[in-house]
Structure 1
Amino acid sequence: MTGPQFLVIGAARSGTTALYQYLAEHPGLFLTEPKEPHYFALAGTTPAFTGPGDRQTINRLAVPDREAYLRLYRDARPDQLRGEASVSTMYHPGAMARVREMAPDARLVCLLRDPVDRALSAYGFMRTRGWEPCATFEQALADEPRRIAEGWHHIWHYVGMSRYGEQLSRALEVFPREQLLVLRHEDMTADPDAVLARVYAHLGVPPVPRTTTPDPHRSGEPRSRFLGRVVSTHHPLKKLVSPLLPTSLRRGLRRRIVARNIVRIGYRPETRRALVADLAPDLDLLEQVTGLDVAAWRSLERPAGGAG
């Protein structure tokens, strides 16, 4: 059994689901199902995270066993490059060293987003699912240290996961810079074809036209918590209906429900100012180790486009 040859390593809530769906339609690429096995972050452990919903999600779905992880690639053809897209790989200390041990020649792809809006999007994602207990982003930020100390899993680390410089510095301690492609979420949103061309060139496969319509996980405040839970989690009702409807119809129905049910959320101007100041040293480090232009992320004004 052979492991991955490329990895989408992060960041969470930065467009990795859309990228995964685009890459999965390339005939020369094979991506695992699930999208996020979380093997390199959690290898050899028994996941026992304690946050709301953690038992139903990461504790149940993660694949920390090596042989079980390698079996995820067993259906790949010999002519396909094998990969996966666990956003925990970039975040968890020690994960990149495990990647190096299994796949030293792996090509790494990292999609990053304005770090404050990424944090807000993660908060809204958990509100959509009905698991975030705090009614405001600011309350959740104040509660983050307690959550980390008590063992809530990485999606709850709203500011922690936005420290990209720290995370990519660890990655570049074990991988050469030429194996890492760093992209910006706003570029993916503005021109997905141009970004995909860069990804395909990095992976060494020919470009193919896009045909899929991505079905990313929207975030925000649900008008109906019940509908939010049904469409955004592994709800029993979804399992009942799924076999009866083709995938394209299910995705279309899900998009329509989400569009009507989810209301975008925001944060106070002073919240952005405080977080930009807090994250400034990490953005300095990110620019230093990657050369990425992140000047727009230092703005004290919220970027256009919000935090869906």
Structure 2
Amino acid sequence: MTLANFIIAGTEKAGTTSVFTYLSTHPLVCGSAVKETDFFRNGYFGDRNTDMLNYSKYFASHCERKTIVMEASPGYLGSGAEVAPRIHALIPKTKLLFILRDPVDRMYSSFNFHIGKLNICKDMSFSEYIDQCIAYDSKQKSPAELGMDEWYLKVISYGRYAEYLKYYYQCFPTKQIKIMFFEDMNRDILSFMQELCQFLEIPSDYFANYDFKKINVTYESRLKWLHKIAVWLNAKSERLLRQRPQLKQSLVDLYKKTNQAREGYDQIPEQDYLRLRRYYAPSVDSLRTLIENRTIPWNM
């Protein structure tokens, strides 16, 4: 049975979809049938034989001829306490990548992305969203009281990276863990991919003339009803289109021409920006200690 030997394990809105897509085209890499298997969060049973069989179903038979077999489930980082021991129990020699992003920018990007996906009410302000996340995180209110799915309320806490990364460092040797930064990817994507290839021990020359198109970019739709249909169709066709990235990109480009109002979103309100920087400052100090004072491209 073929299982992953490389997992992009975090974090949301930090370029994981783009990196997964780029690597999937490399001749020595085989990606999972769906990008986010979320197996170790939602599919893990605890019986080794059962878990090996179920997990192997995400990887096509031809994957066994590839050097790298991978999946990308960015939710694994925030669920580190449960997920890290599970991954280690089933595939202890796997390599792990965590792409981190300025937690303030990441939370604001996530907010706008999920509004675009119709997961958060479009009439909610970012300030109100912060209030709701903090009310949940401090156990003042439940998801039911806040009228929102728990996943979106956890977004603020998932930016406290060190709290969750520590579980992976407890389970895996440092040499199997790679910490990279979204900001470095944006600054020099080729160097970013070359460094990642070095970690994976595969040739990086494949990417020398590669056309790095951004994937999963946040945008606002014109017709909400049409966007609901598109989101549903995208989920249903994941297995088919994930293995055909060029076809998927062509369909996305066509859809955007039809229903995209604009790409990106407004600048974060200054009061929200300052509030979150104060909130995250202690966790950034903890992250710096955890990764042994490596340079972090953002400070609080």
Q: TM-score, normalised by structure 2?
A: 0.82
Structure-1 residue corresponding to 2:250: 249
1:293 paired to 2:299: no
Pick aligned residue for 2:126 from 103, 118, 137:
137
- Whether the aligned pair in 1 keeps the contact of 2:219 and 2:264 (CA below 8 Å) is yes
After TM superposition, the structure 1 stretch with the greater mean CA deviation from structure 2, 86-95 or 36-45, is 36-45
| Structure 1 unmatched ranges of 5 or more | 46-63, 299-308
Deviation at 1:79, TM superposition (A): 3.4
Q: Output one character per residue of 1:115-159: Cα deviation in whole Å (capped at 9) or x when no partner.
A: 011001111111101220252111111112566743835344221
- C-alpha distance in structure 2 between counterparts of 1:169 and 1:258, whole Å: 42
- Whether the aligned pair in 1 keeps the contact of 2:221 and 2:260 (CA below 8 Å) is no
Mapping of residues 86-105 of structure 1, within 5 Å: 86-92=73-79, 93-105=81-93
- C-alpha distance in structure 2 between counterparts of 1:189 and 1:19, whole Å: 12
Code of the aligned partner of 1:20: F
Structure-2 residue corresponding to 1:83: 70
Deviation at 1:226, TM superposition (A): 2.9
Code of the aligned partner of 1:234: W
Q: Output one character per residue of 1:98-128: Cα deviation in whole Å (capped at 9) or x when no partner.
A: 1111111111111111101100111111110
Pick aligned residue for 1:181 from 160, 178, 181:
178
| Structure 2 unmatched ranges of 5 or more | none
- C-alpha distance in structure 2 between counterparts of 1:236 and 1:83, whole Å: 21
| Residues 108, 100 of structure 1: alpha-carbon distance in 2 compared, 3 angstrom cutoff | same
- Supply the RMSD in Å over aligned alpha carbons: 2.8
Identity of aligned residues (%): 20
Q: Output one character per residue of 1:208-242: Cα deviation in whole Å (capped at 9) or x when no partner.
A: 125354352222554432344344x1248997xx9
- Whether the aligned pair in 2 keeps the contact of 1:222 and 1:228 (CA below 8 Å) is yes
Deviation at 1:263, TM superposition (A): 5.3
1:162 paired to 2:166: no
Instruction: Judging by fraction of residues, say which structure has more helix.
Output: 2
- Whether the aligned pair in 2 keeps the contact of 1:10 and 1:110 (CA below 8 Å) is yes
Code of the aligned partner of 2:56: L
- Number of aligned residue pairs: give it: 276
- Whether the aligned pair in 2 keeps the contact of 1:218 and 1:258 (CA below 8 Å) is no
- Whether the aligned pair in 2 keeps the contact of 1:3 and 1:82 (CA below 8 Å) is yes
- Whether the aligned pair in 1 keeps the contact of 2:5 and 2:91 (CA below 8 Å) is yes
Structure-1 residue corresponding to 2:112: 124
